[in-house]
Amino acid sequence: MVKGPKERKERALGVRLGLKGDRALSPKSSPVRKPYRPGVHGPNGRTKALSEFGLQLREKSKFKITYGLNEDNLKKIFTRAQAAKGALSAKMLELIERRLDNAVFQLGWTPSRAGARQLVIHGHIFVNKKKVKSPGYELRVGDIISVNPTSSKRAAFSGRKEFLQQYDAPTWLRMDPEKMEGEVLSIPSDLNPPFEINLLVDSFSK
């Protein structure tokens, strides 16, 4: 879970992660107004070169704040990825992407993963017609994701329908904007996150 000023965290990491949803694209966004790291030295401050360990910590921080995960979440995902077949880094990213809160975000139903997490926790999301309140619920191919019928008229959803008419969900998901329904078509693959997954894997491999 991301705590503290989200945009300040983005500036500290030196990368745009879209933590504030639609606001991240606004001229009022802090990373847009202040495209440099926070601190007393301002835009003229020097950035120290990071060690290998420092680079690993930075990438881990990016994952944590982007997906709303903590250390224990990441360790469990790493352990599961280790036990699976295939490239460790790709499997780890696949498991992260298959989380329910991430899928709700990727379907375009909310402008941020934090918002998606709240929708799941508060019982607004169904999987295969059953309410699921766990943000980390692991989706499988064929799963149908839908909005709780009693929640469908909430502004959080009705206000997104116009946006969804022009939105293209990732290829591993199918999204019906009228029904507010999605389906997992395939296992997520060929993902291009804004960080180095191999550095995250290295941080857990020692």
Write the CATH number for 140: 3.10.290.10
Is residue 132 domain-resident?
Answer: yes
Number of H helices, E strands in the chain: 10, 5
Is residue 169 domain-resident?
Answer: yes
* 81 and 56 housed in the same domain: yes
* 114 and 139 housed in the same domain: yes
164 pLDDT higher than 90? yes
Is residue 60 domain-resident?
Answer: yes
* 107 and 85 housed in the same domain: no
* 199 and 180 housed in the same domain: no
* 142 and 170 housed in the same domain: yes
Predicted confidence (pLDDT) per residue in 37-81, tens digit: 555 555 655 566 778 888 888 888 888 888 999 999 999 999 999
CB 93 within 8 A of CB 114: no
Tell me phi and psi for residue 142, to 5 degrees.
95, -15
* 140 and 171 housed in the same domain: yes
Predicted confidence (pLDDT) per residue in 93-142, tens digit: 999 999 999 999 999 999 999 999 999 999 999 999 999 999 999 999 99
Is residue 176 domain-resident?
Answer: yes
Q: What's the burial of 55, exposed, middle or buried (CB within 10 Å: 0-12/13-18/19+)?
A: middle
Is residue 1 domain-resident?
Answer: no
CATH code, domain carrying 51:
1.10.1050.10
* Mean per-residue pLDDT over the chain, rounded: 83
* 11 and 84 housed in the same domain: yes
* 40 and 77 housed in the same domain: yes
* 109 and 160 housed in the same domain: yes
* 70 and 103 housed in the same domain: no
* 72 and 111 housed in the same domain: no
Structural domain count of the chain: 2
User: CA 125 → CA 92, 95, 115, distances in Å?
Assistant: 24, 19, 12
Pair of tokens at residue 189: 């693959």
Residue 86 structural domain:
6-90+194-205
User: CA 75 → CA 60, 66, 71, distances in Å?
Assistant: 11, 16, 6
Q: What's the burial of 63, exposed, middle or buried (CB within 10 Å: 0-12/13-18/19+)?
A: buried
* 13 and 60 housed in the same domain: yes
